[in-house]
Structure 1
């Protein structure tokens, strides 16, 4: 267990999971939550390689997109470290080319894809989605990708496939947060694993994502490939994926293993289910000071509520 003194906790870390390891700093952290995040000392990176995609107006929002600077300097990406500015500060260590993604498990057509081949399999589109994080902040991001369902159908899951498991790259040389040392945060069981039910993976909202804001994904945002499921908390969207595996049993995900009382498998945005250490009833959009009400399923109720008909969403959190 890593113990840190309150004086060591940067304001950019407020309400991170790190507080779980330091109960004495909890009240201080909750009081500071109402303040805007401190501007990262890391400047926004220059524009990356362009990635063209047609805007899909079906997924347009009235909300203004969060600035590119905030999207790329205020991130949760524990492979780089627990601080919000760690991903931008250390992103240069990740080498997103060459890169392959293994797609296997209970499928008729397993295959290892080169990342650029995978990105060209289907037409790319831009979709503007809300992203809501479990700590109580949110963003609006113009993502670029195609429906995960397109890839799922291509590999032909068998009748045994009930869940889809996503595995992130495990390479401590590229991800300092994975290093097992007293100077790094190593409570997660690497590699990072996430999962969706097969019907969730097939939902039209679930995006296999290769870019944002008209360019390839920046390293700190999950390059070169990630999942975006906008009705779930952000940590469900696996980043820097190297394997997509179709399985019969519900995957044991990284945060479930680390803190099962706090992070459930479904992790749907539900303002009626509080995190054990704070309310989820409100959120603060990055770039704004005021708080706003958290929307059920992050505002995507009409599209996804039918997936959970008859389920107890307090128990299946």
Structure 2
């Protein structure tokens, strides 16, 4: 088998055995494909079964000249996963990256928006256009429910349980969770559904998708990025923001207003509480307030 055949088999494993999303599978595969390109470029003919630690070190050294430490660490992690799969399938007896350490990187704190900045972004939406009501509902849902952009674009009408006050979200690895949805967010989704979406010529296969483009199809992730970037430019917001910024802001504002980490973890769909703990580091004033309120020696 050549590299392409192993990669294809690896992709099937990630999808079927591990239940990873299409985007995650593409990212994992890209790391291995980048290694293949390096081998071809340097005329190194060797299979994934026979490739050695020394050759992989050469590749990582080459990569280190082109990308930062965070990207380098991700590539090493992706390759370790591939060779762990090779061991799992009995193609290899060892992982040639086992002794190769990823560069140490600090945990990057996510950017957040203040409540005032979120209000300004939403106020800048042109509600006179048909897409205006949709875009307002999108931003309210991103911030009101703390969704990933992939979760937002794939949200279904059949996943809306407004009477119960929840929406059903299919997250990473096709894991499902129920997220509370407030009355304000419900209101703007209903306005969009009843006044804009109802009048679209909805394409086959998209009948159950909540947020649609003008052609009646599911919105792309790139379109959500574009909507947010244009609004940020419109209000002269000097921050590099993305759909994920609303998710970070959702978690940060909940924490600042007294929500516990475990509840935030469940709403965000984090597998580990360690991932959620990053929000504790965002606002030192919040930690000081907790100390002054609850410590017996305050």
Q: Please confirm whether the aligned pair reaches a TM-score higher than 0.5, indicating the same fold.
A: no
Relative to its length, the structure with more helix (as a share) is 2
If the length of structure 1 is used for normalisation, what is the TM-score?
A: 0.23
Q: Which has the larger radius of gyration?
A: 2
